[in-house]
């Protein structure tokens, strides 16, 4: 396991996604997670603006490697407003990925920590996510525990 030196610790900070991150490999990073075709600049701009309108209720965060100017880690959280639990809120963590060259340096944990802190600061009573069996241990290290089953129905 590689450790991060104090210099990297300073530069590898988590921040919110910026519109210029498309040119820093943000989409290519998502392609390491799942099927993600290339996105045109116009489509990116449109989606970025749509998501920005949700403000703190939808946050995509990233870590940029200051030396390569590349986005090397990302994740998102969506805040769902409910009627149950006294009109409570639930955070949904999605699309967590660390560049294959930067794994094992605690960056995934840093991203998930940022998303959990955000959900907590928004008043969520819990955060939830789906993951593969292979990633169960990673999320346990982030403080999650396994609960119930996951169901899905795809439309396409």
Site residues for ligand COA per CB under 6 A: 1, 33, 96-98, 103-109, 131, 134-135, 137-138, 141
Beta bridge partners of 16: 61
Least Å from the CB of residue 33 to ligand COA: 5
Q: What are the two backbone dihedrals, phi and then psi, of residue 79, each rounded to the nearest 5 degrees?
A: -95, 115
- d(Cα 93, Cα 120) in Å, to the nearest integer? 12
Handedness of CA 79, 80, 81, 87 (dihedral sign): negative
Considering the complex, state which of residue 57 and residue 135 has its C-beta at the smaller distance from ligand COA.
135
Which position's Cβ is nearest ligand COA? Answer: 108
Considering the complex, state which of residue 40 and residue 101 has its C-beta at the smaller distance from ligand COA.
101
Least Å from the CB of residue 128 to ligand COA: 12
Considering the complex, state which of residue 96 and residue 119 has its C-beta at the smaller distance from ligand COA.
96
HSE, side-chain direction, 13 A CA sphere, residue 99: 17
């Amino acid at each position: 396991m590689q450790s991060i030196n104090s210099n990297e610790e300073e530069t590898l900070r988590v921040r919110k996604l910026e519109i210029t991150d498309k040119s820093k490999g943000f989409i290519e990073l998502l392609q390491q997670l799942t099927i993600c075709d290339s996105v045109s600049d116009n489509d990116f701009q449109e989606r970025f603006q749509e998501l920005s309108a949700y403000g703190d209720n939808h946050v995509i965060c990233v870590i940029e490697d200051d030396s390569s100017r590349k986005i090397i880690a990302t994740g998102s959280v969506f805040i769902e407003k409910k009627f149950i639990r006294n009109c409570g809120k639930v955070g949904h963590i999605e699309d967590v990925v660390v560049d294959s060259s930067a794994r094992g340096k605690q960056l995934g944990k840093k991203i998930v920590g940022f998303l959990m802190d955000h959900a907590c600061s928004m008043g969520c009573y819990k955060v939830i996510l789906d993951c593969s069996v292979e990633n169960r241990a990673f999320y346990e290290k982030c403080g999650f525990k396994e609960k119930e089953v996951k169901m899905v129905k795809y439309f396409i």
